[in-house]
């Protein structure tokens, strides 16, 4: 007789449990493949109006993250950060949309409060937070020379 059929029922349970756990780990580690859309840099508006009022709008570098590109645009008025807008961010699937609908307003609020890219990572949106921070820093560096 086969060793797993009669003499060792506990071995059969252990092997079945290990196979189930291994299968679940593999399934949960997969993410559907999606081709990230290329980031399109939107040029910052320029003209005499910005020079007269002391307002300057700058778009940061597009930062490629694990889930897609992140890019922000900032507005400085008299050297003070007055607006931060995410112009490119991951939106490929409903989970990306859910995460970013929660994370982007928090990141914007922290950036405006800190007046810099020295902001905290939003829990659950680590990659978006890192990309946001890097793009924000590049925009601030470009704006302030």
- Predicted confidence (pLDDT) per residue in 56-112, tens digit: 899 999 999 888 999 999 999 888 899 999 999 988 889 888 988 999 999 999 999
Q: Report d(CA 126, CA 103) in Å as an integer.
A: 9
| Residue extents of the structural domains in the chain | 1-30, 48-144
Confidence of residue 142 (pLDDT cuts 50, 70, 90): confident
Distance CA 91, CA 21 (A): 31
**Span 5-18, average pLDDT:** 77
Assigned CATH topology for domain 48-144: Sufe protein. Chain: A (3.90.1010)
In the block, residue with structure tokens 């409903």: 94
What is the pTM for the complete model shown?
0.63
Q: Which residue has the higher pLDDT, 71 or 10?
A: 71
Torsion sign (Cα): 100, 106, 109, 111: negative
What is the pLDDT at residue 18? 86
Mean of pLDDT over the chain:
79
H-helix or E-strand containing 23? helix 9-28
Q: What is the CB neighbour count within 10 angstroms for residue 72?
A: 31
Pairing of strands 68-77, 55-59: antiparallel
What is the model's pLDDT at position 49? 41
Q: Is residue 130 within 8 Å of 65, Cβ to Cβ?
A: yes
């Amino acid at each position: 007789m086969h060793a797993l059929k009669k003499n060792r029922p506990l071995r059969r349970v252990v092997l079945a449990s290990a196979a189930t756990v291994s299968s679940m780990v593999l399934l949960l580690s997969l993410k559907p493949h999606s081709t990230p859309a290329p980031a399109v840099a939107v040029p910052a508006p320029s003209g005499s109006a910005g020079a007269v009022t002391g307002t300057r709008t700058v778009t940061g570098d597009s930062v490629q993250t694990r889930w897609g590109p992140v890019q922000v645009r900032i507005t400085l008025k008299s050297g003070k950060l007055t607006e931060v807008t995410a112009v490119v961010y991951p939106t490929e699937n409903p989970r990306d949309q859910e995460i970013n609908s929660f994370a982007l307003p928090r990141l914007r609020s922290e950036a405006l409060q800190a007046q810099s890219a020295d902001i905290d990572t939003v829990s659950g949106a680590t990659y978006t937070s890192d990309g946001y921070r890097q793009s924000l820093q590049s925009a601030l560096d470009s704006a302030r020379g």
